[in-house]
Copies of this chain bind each other. A is one copy, B any other.
Amino acid sequence: MKKIASGIYKMTFGTPEAITPVSVLQPGTRFEAINALKDHPLPFLQGDIGFGPRKGSVLLDIPLEPNEEVYGLGLQLKSFRQSGSKKKLRTNSDPAADLGDSHAPVPFYVSTAGYGVLIDTARYATFFCGGCKRVGSRQDEEGFKSAGTERGHWEVKKGSGNMLVDIPAAEGVDIYIFCGDDMKDAVSRYNLFSGGGALPPMWGLGVLYRADWHANQEDVLKLARQIREDDMPCDIFGLEPGWQTNAYSCTYVWDKCRFPDERALIRDLNEMGFRLNLWEHAYVHPESPIHNELKPYSGDSYVWDGLVPDFTQPQAREAFVGIHQSTIDAGLSGFKLDECDNGDYIGNWGFPDFARFPGGADGEQMHSLMGQLYQQTMLDPFVAANRRTYGQVRASHALAAPYPYVLYSDLYEHKDFVRGMATAAFSGLLWSPEVRQTATREELLRRIGAVIFSPLAVLNCYMIPSPPWKQYDHDKNHAGEWLEDWPQLTEQCRQLLQLRMRLIPYLYAAFGKYKVQGVPPIRPLVLDYPHDREVFDCFDQFMVGDDLLVAPVVYGSGDIRNLYLPEGRWYEWSAGQWIDGGQWITRQVPVDQVPMFIRKGALIPWAAPVSNVEDGGMLELHPVLYGADEGSCSLLCDDSTSYAYQSEGLTFGTINVSGDRTVSADAVISRRYTIGDVTFVKDEA
């Protein structure tokens, strides 16, 4: 057992493998930040953990008390609290059942007892979160009343047991234990161990609109103009497969028939306030100019006849970045990194687990690590250019916190998408419940109402040529038949997206806290209220930053929303009234609204909404102080687009409202913000 930082311990069992998340991804652990935190002892000793090999795997048997609740294990779309469950953590797109398959299966769990455990493996490890009782175990000695059924009843009860982790193909493993005051502290420490949270450029917190995949250069510019004419907030304009000469597999070569001049495209979009983002995946078509150069640094199986580059190899990364360099130099803002998630639900959208790679990984290990290796590869040229990027990705794993990529999925069940916002936060992941096709007006608005509180507000309109606020119906959109009342729907969409834009300074500060303290910017209530049993299964309510509680309405659940307010006093934004916490409440929520509650005492730095965030542009703040006479808020005041903070550190500034209602602000605030009048919302109670 080795203590590696304040409250972080490493234990080694047997002989760990060479290819693991920690060894391959080499996290830039923020020791200084961690060691400034309070130290904590281990919740159990190495000797309390059982370890044994079986043929073809090793088993860890880690103490778990009956009163502990377990969360985590990465992006879990189908379940929230993991206590009692069994999860096999396999990178796999489109998890059809609650078995652990995930775009981002992370072998890290946290307990309400205030610690987290990272199993440093790139294998498809299986976690039994207390549901499996072993013969001769402590739980066995305590008797058999915990599970089974009562006479005449045949519902099965949850079993009781330790946390059992089965790791195939390994002969040993390192585990890291993250202690803390509570779960949030343990998660934050894990994120700092990973390198601190991702810091998007401020423009990344605006809206991403992804265009019809059949659009050509002219169509794209027409659509961009339409978005501006509609006064719809949008910072990022995304293209789908159609930009390349061949996309399954990819050439990474602009199709000059559709896009005769990509430099002009980027320039024209920039002039309208958009930044370009490009879809791609990593499987390299035989006709791609980098194919031959990559071949020696690729795996031994094809995907759609395309090479699978081994991004652990510098030569592979260099060749792969090389073919993108001129587009990046022309001003490209980032990528959507698709298909790196071992899709096999629709037949072989990935390489086999038995594939071998030049760097020594096999296919199973590469599936676990590919998402982040791909992210790192496509991050490097932006770091070199000292321009932050913010993109999308289909796969991640352990230690993902520092990567400025937001997960997305082809699954589309809204409840699962909202649940993903909650589970991502336990494991250093960012997730966007993107809006895609919608069957009804209500669906469009409900989905927008959730996505605006996520790390990336994505409208993925790749299937329709005109914006969904003109016509959400696929066929009618294609036929150019706009809704009769499209101006009204456009206004409703605009209001929701403008709410996102009004929150940008507040969100950006929350991401600053993610970067330097590791605190997830958007998180389920249980991270802030780990001792309130009412929130143990509350997967559809979120703390956004420290002072906003939002409860999106899941599409399909009707318009009646039951929600829980934790202890304290809360200001209900839509109704303009104060409510006591510690209770469940019920609201009828109109389709264009989202229940939002503000913590008493908070000073929220609302911004005047802009359509997009300009480099170096100023935002105008209209702070509101809720239920107090004095208060303050902290804002991140860097240039918001470069990596200067890596040498200079992140600069936060404070806005203060004192008891005599005077407002003061640190000088750095004026780098990015002008401050208008402060509004005071009284709590008369």
> Which A residues lie at the B interface, using CB under 8 A?
54-57, 59, 84-86, 94, 96-99, 126, 128, 131-136, 140, 144, 146-152, 154-159, 164, 166, 168-170, 213, 241-242, 245-249, 255, 258, 285-286, 298-302, 304-306, 344-345, 347-349, 351-354, 356, 362
Contact = CB atoms under 8 A, between A and B. Distances in A.
Contact of A247 (B140, B154, B158, B345): B154
Contacts of A133: 301-302, 305
9 closest Cβ contacts across the A-B interface? A56-B169, A96-B97, A144-B305, A131-B348, A149-B248, A144-B286, A148-B305, A147-B305, A135-B300
A306 B148 contact: yes
A98 B345 contact: yes
Contacts of A151: 245-246, 255
Contacts of A94: 97
A156 B248 contact: yes
Contacts of A84: 347-348
Contacts of A155: 248
Nearest to A258: B152
Given A56-B56, A56-B168, A352 B128 contact: yes
Nearest to A84: B347
A159 B348 contact: yes
B305 A146 contact: yes
B255 A136 contact: no
Contacts of A131: 347-348
A155 B345 CA distance: 15
B159 A305 contact: yes
A347 B100 CA distance: 11
A533 to B, nearest CB: 20
A302 B142 CA distance: 14
A285 B151 CA distance: 12
A344 B134 contact: no
Contact of A349 (B149, B156, B248): B156
B246 A347 contact: no
A97 B86 CA distance: 18
B304 A353 contact: no
A304 B147 contact: yes
A352 B126 contact: yes
Given A85-B348, A126-B353, A241-B154, A285 B148 contact: yes
- Which of A56, A99, A132, A258 has the most chain B CB atoms inside 10 A of its CB? A56
Nearest to A53: B354
Contacts of A300: 134-136
B286 A86 contact: no
A300 B57 CA distance: 17
Nearest to A150: B246
A93 to B, nearest CB: 11
A352 to B, nearest CB: 5
7 contacts: A56-B170, A98-B345, A126-B352, A132-B301, A148-B248, A156-B349, A164-B352
B344 A302 contact: no
A255 B247 CA distance: 65
B166 A132 contact: no
A417 B352 CA distance: 30
B302 A362 contact: no
A355 to B, nearest CB: 8
Nearest to A55: B169
A500 B650 CA distance: 78
A148 B249 contact: yes
A156 B96 CA distance: 21
Given A131-B347, A158-B347, A348-B132, A152 B85 contact: no
A164 B156 CA distance: 39
Contact of A149 (B86, B247, B345): B247
Contacts of A96: 96-97
A304 B156 contact: yes
Contacts of A157: 304
Contacts of A59: 354
A344 B99 contact: yes
A347 B159 CA distance: 10
A166 B124 CA distance: 15
Given A156-B349, A304-B156, A348-B131, A168 B166 contact: no
Contacts of A135: 298-302
A50 to B, nearest CB: 11
A494 B356 CA distance: 60
A97 B345 contact: yes
B213 A159 contact: no
A176 B430 CA distance: 49
A456 to B, nearest CB: 23
A97 B343 CA distance: 12
A333 to B, nearest CB: 23
A144 B305 CA distance: 6
Given A56-B169, A85-B348, A149 B301 contact: no
Contacts of A159: 302, 304-305, 348
Contacts of A156: 248, 304, 349
A354 to B, nearest CB: 5
Contacts of A166: 352-354
A337 to B, nearest CB: 16
A151 B140 CA distance: 62
Most B C-beta atoms less than 10 A away, residue of A134, A245, A354: A354
Given A99-B345, A135-B300, A304-B159, A149 B56 contact: no
